[in-house]
């Protein structure tokens, strides 16, 4: 399968998933501006997924690259999948902030090729922002783990 066709198929699949999320989220309470309900974030994320899928499809149709065959099993893709699969396994055990910070640091080091120190600092800042958004602004308590 060529890169252009694979990109268009992936964009279509992402758009369908985004529409499914948005449809299911629209059936839930969306809440108010100051206090979003349980359907607000899934609706927002579903909509964003559809928008980004459309951007991928448009870029794929307008791109003038040669339609070369794809190579599956790329190391960065496998690292990303492994990190994403580790999150649900470690979420309750280590807590949300440690798990998500660890995933962010791993992806920054192995995918973005950032230094370990910068990855740890960036993940810590991101997790502080995550704690402030969910814990303080929204009042949602995520699992904190053993610490």
Indicate the SS3 state at residue 2: strand
Give the Cα separation of 132 and 137 in Å (integer).
6
The string over 92-120, giving b where at least 16 C-beta atoms fall within 10 Å of a residue's C-beta and e elsewhere, is: eebbbbbbbbbbbbbbbbbeeebeeeebb
Summarize pLDDT for 20-69 with one digit per residue, the tens.
999 999 999 888 877 888 888 899 999 999 999 999 889 877 776 666 66
Summarize pLDDT for 91-102 with one digit per residue, the tens.
989 999 999 999
């Amino acid at each position: 399968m060529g890169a252009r066709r694979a990109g268009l198929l992936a964009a279509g699949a992402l758009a369908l998933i985004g529409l499914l999320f948005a449809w299911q989220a629209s059936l839930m309470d969306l809440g108010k501006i100051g206090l979003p309900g349980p359907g607000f974030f899934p609706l927002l994320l579903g909509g964003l997924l559809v928008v980004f899928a459309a951007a991928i499809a448009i870029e794929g149709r307008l791109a003038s690259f040669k339609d070369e065959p794809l190579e599956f099993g790329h190391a960065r893709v496998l690292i990303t999948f492994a990190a994403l699969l580790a999150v649900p396994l470690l979420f309750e055990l280590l807590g949300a902030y440690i798990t998500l910070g660890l995933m962010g640091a791993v992806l920054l080091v192995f995918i973005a090729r950032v230094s370990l120190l910068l990855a740890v600092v960036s993940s810590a800042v991101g997790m502080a922002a995550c704690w402030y958004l969910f814990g303080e602004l929204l009042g949602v308590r995520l699992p904190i783990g053993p610490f």
